[in-house]
Amino acid sequence: MHLPGFVDLQVNGHLGCDFSSPSMSAEQLRAVCDKLLAAGTAAFLPTMITAPMTVYERNLPILAKAIDSKLFRGRLLGIHLEGPFLTPKPGPIGAHRPEHTLAPEVDVLGRLVDLAGGFVRMLTLSPELPGAEKLIAWAVGRGICVSCGHTMATADDLARATDAGATAFTHLGNGLGQVVPRHANPIWAALAEDRLAATIITDGHHLPPPVIKSFLRAKGVERTIVISDAAPLAGMAPGRYRALGNEVVLEPDGKLHNPSKNCLVGSSSTMLQCMTHLASLDILSAAELRAVGLDNPLRLLGLSPTDLRPAGSVQYDPASLRFKKSVPARRDNPQSAID
């Protein structure tokens, strides 16, 4: 099975480039996107996590210019804002900085959308926050896919959010406290809400295999989407770093975590690695793997594979249960800048 690559709805950075850092440059962004798009990712959403408004004011226009360039058209599909409308409670906030979270307000999101040149395609928020439903409806009315996440939402919270237009749940099973109520918790609520697709991180660290299998059985392949949630340290050597406002450790096995918070800080994997891990579990057929890694994320954004301009392709080997790059990356104009 040959594919144009995978579509990743959540990439926070790569090889030291942090899309939420006040030091990100257009040149650094272009170089990192080239490398990531050559690594089996046909297209992705560069993702900004909760940040000070000054960082949004600086970085969103840089991301927008790249998305609108000839070089990355059909490859960078828009911007994913994971925050700032998240609950500041410990546990659900994860690696995000609670002091930078904001209450859901249309004026604030409107400002962010304007800074992004209208290229915001996905928004993750905590649906239990006052004002969330109004914000969801406003965002959906402007073509933004709204996903619930970093939350301790109840089933009623999720029902109200989906009534308002939310269509997804961000990295199900992660972005919540280490200890949650046995039954009244957002995992069960999200699994039971048939109107919500679930994104899951299959890097081998965020979710154990029995959990992945259970999620797939409950949501169905048609409502499951694999993401990498790649952190800026993805592709880096093991060691201690500072990333996304956290003091983190990248272990030799790829686990990326903040020991003081006892939480993961995104993943160190690409979509190719996440899909290979999922394939190795031998849960899904080749067609189902294609659905969760390519077709479903595109459909959530209202797109199809014909909307992509991939840099290469990947091939699935059922004998080894692995994906591998089958065509080297190609740039239409190696000398072109982001124009």
User: Looking at the predicted structure, is the pLDDT value of residue 22 above 70?
Assistant: yes
**Based on C-alpha coordinates, what's the Rg of the chain?**
18
pLDDT of residue 330: 46
pLDDT of residue 333: 43
Handedness of CA 45, 338, 140, 12 (dihedral sign): positive
**Which of 32-36, 176-180, 332-336 has the weakest average pLDDT?**
332-336
Structural domain span for residue 277: 2-327
Rounded CA-CA distance 61/118 in Å is 10
Do 224 and 299 form a contact (C-beta atoms < 8 A)? no
Rounded CA-CA distance 23/5 in Å is 30
Token pair belonging to 319 = 């004998």
**Which of 67-71, 88-92, 296-300 has the weakest average pLDDT?**
88-92
pLDDT of residue 177: 79
The residue-averaged pLDDT of 48-60 equals 97
Length of the chain: 339
The residue-averaged pLDDT of 279-298 equals 97
Number of domains in the chain: 1
- What CATH number did the domain enclosing 320 receive? 3.20.20.140
Phi, psi at 290, each rounded to 5°: -60, -40
* pTM of the entire predicted model: 0.94
Q: Is 271 exposed, middle or buried (0-12, 13-18, 19+ CB in 10 A)?
A: buried
315 located within any domain: yes
For residue 116, how far is the Cα from the chain centroid? Answer: 17
User: Looking at the predicted structure, is the pLDDT value of residue 335 above 50?
Assistant: no
259 located within any domain: yes
The bridge status of strand 246-250 relative to strand 239-243 is antiparallel
The residue-averaged pLDDT of 142-153 equals 96
pLDDT of residue 327: 55
229 flagged as catalytic: yes
User: Looking at the predicted structure, is the pLDDT value of residue 337 above 80?
Assistant: no
**Catalytic hit among 8, 157, 229, 295:** 229
Mean pLDDT score of the chain, rounded to an integer? 92
Alpha helices in 123-238 (DSSP H): 132-140, 155-164, 186-192, 209-219
22 located within any domain: yes
- In sequence order, what E strands does the chain have? 2-3, 6-11, 13-14, 17-18, 41-49, 79-82, 120-125, 145-148, 168-169, 197-201, 224-227, 239-243, 246-250, 256-258, 263-264, 313-317, 322-327
For residue 12, how far is the Cα from the chain centroid? Answer: 7
The residue-averaged pLDDT of 293-311 equals 94
240 located within any domain: yes
157 located within any domain: yes
Q: Which residues contact 246 (CB under 8 A, 6 or more apart)?
A: 95, 258, 261, 265
150 located within any domain: yes
pLDDT band with cut points at 50, 70 and 90 for residue 246: confident
164 located within any domain: yes
336 located within any domain: no
Comparing C-alpha atoms, which of 118, 126, 176 is closest to residue 147?
A: 126
Rounded CA-CA distance 283/237 in Å is 30
The separation between the first and the last C-alpha atoms of the chain, rounded to the nearest angstrom, is 35
- In sequence order, what E strands does 221-321 have? 224-227, 239-243, 246-250, 256-258, 263-264, 313-317
Rounded CA-CA distance 226/274 in Å is 8
